[in-house]
Amino acid sequence: MESLPPNLESDLALALRREATKVVPGFSGRVVTAVKASRVRRKIIRWTSLASSLAACFVATLVVSHNRSEDFLIRQSQALVMSDDAANFNAIFGVADDLAILAPVMEEDSSVVEEFIKTDI
């Protein structure tokens, strides 16, 4: 390998290494401050992430329970509708019942009944 002029290589090394010994005042303090800030930032990110996960779980639970209550409501409504229908039927059949109750009376010979029958409504 070709060598540099007599003093050149040593001068080069001296110059470059002298550069590498120049201390930057307060550098380590700045690094430690930056590291602490970075640590706090990472802690905040970690807690935020955890909080977000918990919030997501909470929302998911709400949604699931909401769906359940919706189902429940639907079932309730259906039951109500059904009971309403039953009421209608009852109303109808109730009349029928009333008629049924009246039926024996109607079947019996009665002047009143006969009058009813005769009457052209």
Q: Decide: is 19 part of the binding site for other proteins (CB under 8 A).
A: yes
Distance CA 102, CA 108 (A): 10
Q: Which stretch binds other proteins (CB under 8 A): 5-13, 63-71, 83-91, 113-121?
A: 5-13
Minimum CB–partner distance for residue 49 and other proteins (Å): 18
Minimum CB–partner distance for residue 45 and other proteins (Å): 13
Q: Sign of the CA dihedral 11, 14, 20, 22?
A: negative
Where does 4-26 have alpha helices with state H? 8-19
Q: Decide: is 25 part of the binding site for other proteins (CB under 8 A).
A: no
Minimum CB–partner distance for residue 68 and other proteins (Å): 46
Q: Decide: is 40 part of the binding site for other proteins (CB under 8 A).
A: no
Which residue is it, tokens 């706090």?
Answer: 40
> Which residues touch 116 (CB under 8 Å, ≥6 apart)?
106
Q: Which of 95, 117, 113 is nearest to 104 (CA)?
A: 113
Q: Decide: is 12 part of the binding site for other proteins (CB under 8 A).
A: yes
The residues in 51-90 that bind other proteins, with binding defined as CB under 8 A, are none
Point out which residues bind other proteins (CB under 8 A). Answer: 1-5, 7-24, 27-32, 34-36, 38
